[in-house]
Structure 1
Amino acid sequence: MWLVVGLGNPGPTYAGHRHNVGFGVVEELAARTGARFTVTKGIRAEAAEVRLGAPGAADVPRLVLGKSRTYMNETGGPVSGLLRYHRLTPDRLVVVHDELDIDPGQLRVKFGGGDNGHNGLRSIRASLGTGDFYRVRVGVGRPAGRQDPADFLLSNFAARDREGLAVELVRAADAVESLVTAGLERTQSTFNS
């Protein structure tokens, strides 16, 4: 079993923001199997369980898809709660998040590393006491001019970028599936751009 957490801020106000691409990826994974997110009792998170592969096939990976019901900078508590609830260790965790330092339309999959100024990753690392978990980093690029990066992340994608975003969410979901079925090296060679 794997825990795949998409980072974002809860509620309709934030739904189309760049900071919420992680939510979009786990929602895409849930939609592929018709799974629905439900509140996990005692944990400030929503979760959905899915199985990859053909129904009835032997040895198909089980995924718990998670979305925190807290704001980004408090994500660590719900993530560590979901890991404990499902008796998983951080090396079975995949965090999907936005990345300013990667251009739109680009992905990077990796294991471990710092938080690179990302408040969600910082919170998770603090709660788990480690950064040793998988990351699927979805490029959103840096703002043009002097716009504050925080304001940029907490703004909606432009209408002209939404079609490309839908393609990237599907691609990032494919990368998650590849990571848990084919492993890191193969996934990096296929998806890292």
Structure 2
Amino acid sequence: MLSVVRRLFLKEKETQEDLMKKFLVVGLGNIGPKYHNTRHNIGFKVLDALAKEEQLIFETKKLGDLTTYKHKGRTILLLKPNTYMNLSGKAIRYWLEKEKIPLENLLVITDDLNLPFGTIRLKSKGSAGGHNGLKDTEAQLNTSKYCRFRFGVGDAFNKGRQVDYVLGEWNDDEQKAMPERLEKAIALIKSFVAAGTNNTMNSFNGK
């Protein structure tokens, strides 16, 4: 028979391994119909596309809408914070702590003005780049070392019109290209969970 200490050790090891197989994927955006199809809400849009593909249903829980997805032995929590963009970090920190998810298993999806429309880029750390959702996430987590998935929305706006642009809706060309870009975004998320950050960056960045 295993000793009590040995059994406790194995149980703790098993628990740690289980936690390493749990992920939190967060799409940033603003709640409400007027923001639904805006560039700033691409995080919500990506998670909605994944949920539709996998026939998942979001439920409104504390600080956001949540659903759970299983992929290759991993458990993935998909979260759309309902705190509005500027307080996104509050919801992220709450669900990380509640589910005891390691920081390295966090992925935050956000729009990026510095990337051409549809360009996707995964980074393991970095600055907020003026993005209020990332600023609050960094403040709440007290670190900038978390993975973020940047989805390019372009910068086709006149000086001083940045806010109008990100809160504006997709144009016709972007709408036509969106299904293929969303398919690529979903593939990136699945790769991040199953293959890891470095492999995913090598496979998807700039594509």
TM-score with structure 2 setting the length: 0.85
Displacement of 1:147 after TM fit? 5.1
Q: Which residue of 1 aligns with 2:58?
A: 37
Map of 1:10 onto structure 2: 31
Structure 1, 82-91 or 6-15: larger mean CA deviation: 82-91
8 Å Cα contact 1:21/1:169 also seen in 2: no
Q: More deviation in 143-152 or 173-182?
A: 143-152
Deviations 1:122-157 (A, max 9, x none): 011111111111111100011233351111000000
Q: Residues 18 and 98 of structure 1 are in contact (CA less than 8 Å); yes or no, is this contact kept in structure 2?
A: yes
- Of 81, 85, 92 in structure 2, the residue corresponding to residue 72 of structure 1 is 85
1:52 and 1:89 map into 2 onto residues whose CA distance is 17
By percentage of residues, which structure has more helix? 2
**Deviations 1:146-188, CA, capped at 9 Å, x for gaps:** 3511110000001221021222122111111111111122211
**Correspondence 1:134 to 2:147:** yes
SS at match of 1:30: helix
Distance 2:150 2:53 in 1: 21
- Contact in 1 for aligned 2:119/2:151 (Cα 8 Å): yes
Structure-1 separation of matches of 2:178 and 2:30: 18
Unaligned runs of 5+ in 1: 54-59
User: Which one of the candidate residues 58, 61, 67 is aligned to 1:48?
Assistant: 67
State the AA in 1 paired with 2:31.
P
Identity of aligned residues (%): 32
Separation of aligned partners in 2, 1:184 and 1:6 = 17
CA contact (8 A) 2:46 2:182 kept: yes
Name the structure 2 match of 1:56: none
RMSD: 1.2
Distance in 2 (CA, whole Å) between partners of 1:124 and 1:6 is: 12
Structure label with greater radius of gyration? 2
The partner residue of 1:62 within 65, 68, 75 is: 75
Q: What residue identity is the alignment partner of 1:47?
A: L
Number of aligned residues = 185
Q: 1:54-96: per-residue Cα shift (whole Å, max 9, x none)? A: xxxxxx1110000011210011111111111211132211001
Q: Give the alignment's TM-score, normalised by structure 1.
A: 0.91
